Amino acid sequence: MLEEKARIIRKHIIKMIYTAGSGHPGGSLSATDILTALYFNVMRHDPKNPKWEDRDRFILSKGHAAPALYSALATSGYFPVEELLTLRKLGSRLQGHPDMRKLPGVEASTGSEGQGLSIGIGMALHAKLNRKLYRVYVMIGDGENDCGQIWEAAMSGAHFKTDNLTVILDRNGLQLDGPTRQIMDIEPLVSKWKSFGWKVIEINGHSFREILNAFNRAKSVKGKPTIIITHTIKGKGVSFMEGAVSFHGKSPNKEEYEQAMKELG
């Protein structure tokens, strides 16, 4: 069931980006399984009531993966699936990067990397102050992990004991210019986050069993926030996009599009 949802979401992503003529397929596809698990299993939310006060919040800090977020939202019922094809068009609610004032279900305006984790901490603090039980989920990229603000936020998340906050680090090993190992090596990642006071869980980000299990474990952690490092494949699901730096931020051409849609079934 989750596998099937993820397949549909991947097809939407490819079609949207192809129709728009631009966008970021790689990081959208690596994040798809996690977003599917969040929107169709983990999070308490109501697509018919996007402003419900007690909803869990998801922030896509790596805002360039907007197609994955939009597809998950549309498939959940926040807005019509047909609207997905307006991505990046003049007048569309589906901006190139998420705009919380335009599209229902978008919790934060992002696109400049490095800020979503701090925003998530703000939301988690608001919940604590107002005795709200909602949880906050933030997805960051492994390239985004270079940003200084991420580490400012890492420190303050632990300091303020935001155990209602779960971060997903999409460890697809690639950033814009190449492999993270070459551009800016972020290892040893687990011990870094541990030493910043976080509970760290490491999983395969394409195994629903591991994903659901990790989110469950994160819920029971008290007194500190949790980060789930999800090992993923950039471009997952489309053979020629998998592990390809070139598909970080470009649309497939006609042949590639047809090939991709065929592979996704």
Partner 1 sequence: MWNKKTQRDAFAEALVEIGSRRKDVVVLTADLSSSVKTNRFAEKFPEHHFNVGISEQNMMSIAAGLAASGSRVFASTFAVFGTSRVYDQIRQSIAWPKLNVNIVATHAGITVGGDGASHQMLEDVALMCSLPNMTVIVPCDALETKKAVKFVVDYNGPTYIRLGRSDVPTITQENALFSIGKAMVMKDGKDITLIGTGTMVSRCLLAAEKLEKDNIDATVINMSTIKPVDEKMIIKYAKETGAVVTAEEHNIIGGLGSMVSTVLSENVPVPMKRIGIPDVFGESGKSDELMEKYGLTPENIAEAAHEVMKRRGKQK
Ligand X SMILES: Cc1ncc(C[n+]2csc(CCOP(=O)(O)OP(=O)(O)O)c2C)c(N)n1
Binding site for ligand X (CB under 6 A): 24, 26-27, 30, 62, 64, 111-114, 141-144, 170, 172, 174-176, 234, 248
Site map for partner 1, 44-83, x if CB under 8 A?
---------x------------------------------
* 142 counts as binding Mg ion under rule CB under 5 A: yes
Helix (H), strand (E) at residue 8: helix 2-20
- Give the residue ranges of DSSP H helices in 52-115: 66-76
In terms of Cβ atoms closer than 10 Å to its own Cβ (0-12, 13-18, 19+), residue 120 is: buried
* 133 counts as binding partner 1 under rule CB under 8 A: no
Q: Given the rule CB under 5 A, which of 112-120, 171-179, 214-222, 238-246 is the region that contacts Mg ion?
A: 171-179
Closest CA to 124 of 42, 37, 225: 225
Nearest residue (CB) to ligand X, 57 versus 64:
64
Please give the sequence-ordered ranges of beta strands (E in DSSP) within 136-214, or none if there are none: 136-141, 165-171, 199-204
> Contacts with partner 1: how many residues (CB under 8 A)?
34
Site map for partner 1, 135-174, x if CB under 8 A?
-------------xx--xx-xx--xx--------------
Q: Given the rule CB under 8 A, which of 38-46, 107-115, 184-192, 214-222 is the region that contacts partner 1?
A: 107-115
Rounded CA separation 112/158 (Å): 23
Question: What is the 3-class SS of 114-156, one letter each residue?
Answer: CCHHHHHHHHHHHHHHCCCCCCEEEEEECCHHHCHHHHHHHHH
Interface residues with partner 1 (CB under 8 A) are: 53, 99-101, 107-112, 114-127, 129-130, 148-149, 152-153, 155-156, 159-160
